[in-house]
Amino acid sequence: MKALITGASNGIGKEMAIYLSELGYDLYLVARSKNKLEELKRELKTEVNVYEYDLSIIDNCYKLYELLKDEKIDIVINNAGFGVFCNYSDDTLDKEINMIDLNVKCLHILTKLFVNNKHTKRILNVSSSAGLMKGGPLMSGYYGTKSYVCSYSFALYEELRRNKSDKKISVLCPGPVDTGFNKRANVRFNLKSLDARYVARYAIDKMFKNKLIIIPGFAVRMGIFFSRFLPTKILLRISYNIQKKKDKKKK
């Protein structure tokens, strides 16, 4: 049994690696921080291969697939991702494009290649509760990338089902999780965060139960459910007010 996890050096991806290793999976772990991956490798009992790749560089996504396509990988977890906190007028375009390359293009490429690999039976794409909302002012591009992940994965789920494929796709949509995400996005969360270990284990367990949409945490599930009944303009105002409290520059 073998699993590939992108973004395994920290946070949710790292906890998923620990759990899958406990379940007996040999692992292929990818991130930019080789040291952190090597450290994790030393902690795990199963066989672990680490790959130092910046997956926002599209060529690296293809290179990774070429390296791993014959490794008989059962599970692919597209987890690597980050957010950019910005107003429309901020000088953040390069960062936002880099985020789209990682959160969208890399995930799409690896999903498309592995879903057509005869050995791969499960794909778990890490989106966010943001992906189920109607837009997130002040994290507009990030919410857009996560909506893409949901929309793309949901559609593939139905194509696989219609084709009577034995392959399964699941999408993880967590609310705030206590990881390195905030630091990179340069924000602070104003809502209670879930523990990364809990989220990772919950997600893997639900993936094995063939769940399509995986939302850890009752409060987030309720928030998403009730948001459906609110008009878009009202939702956007609420969302802006929640998001602006994340701004570290404001007291």
Q: Applying CB under 6 A, which residues contact ligand NAP?
A: 6-13, 31-33, 36, 53-56, 79-82, 102, 126, 128, 174, 176-177, 179-181, 184
Closer residue to ligand NAP (CB): 8 or 75: 8
Q: Tell me the closest approach of the beta carbon of residue 248 to ligand NAP, in angstroms.
A: 15
The tokens for 244 are 């602006």
The tokens for 111 are 């999903």
The tokens for 202 are 């919950």
Q: Tell me the closest approach of the beta carbon of residue 7 to ligand NAP, in angstroms.
A: 3
Cβ-contact 212, 113 below 8 angstroms: no
| Angle subtended at Cα 111 by Cα 13 and Cα 122, rounded to the nearest 5 degrees | 70
Q: Tell me the closest approach of the beta carbon of residue 166 to ligand NAP, in angstroms.
A: 26
Closer residue to ligand NAP (CB): 8 or 156: 8
Q: Tell me the closest approach of the beta carbon of residue 23 to ligand NAP, in angstroms.
A: 19
Q: Tell me the closest approach of the beta carbon of residue 87 to ligand NAP, in angstroms.
A: 20
Closer residue to ligand NAP (CB): 222 or 234: 222
Closer residue to ligand NAP (CB): 83 or 120: 83
- Nearest CA among 186, 180, 171 for reference residue 243: 186
Cβ-contact 20, 27 below 8 angstroms: yes
Amino acid letter at 67? L
| Residues in contact with 185: Cβ distance below 8 Å, sequence separation at least 6, in sequence order | 82, 83, 84, 85, 139, 142
Closer residue to ligand NAP (CB): 32 or 95: 32
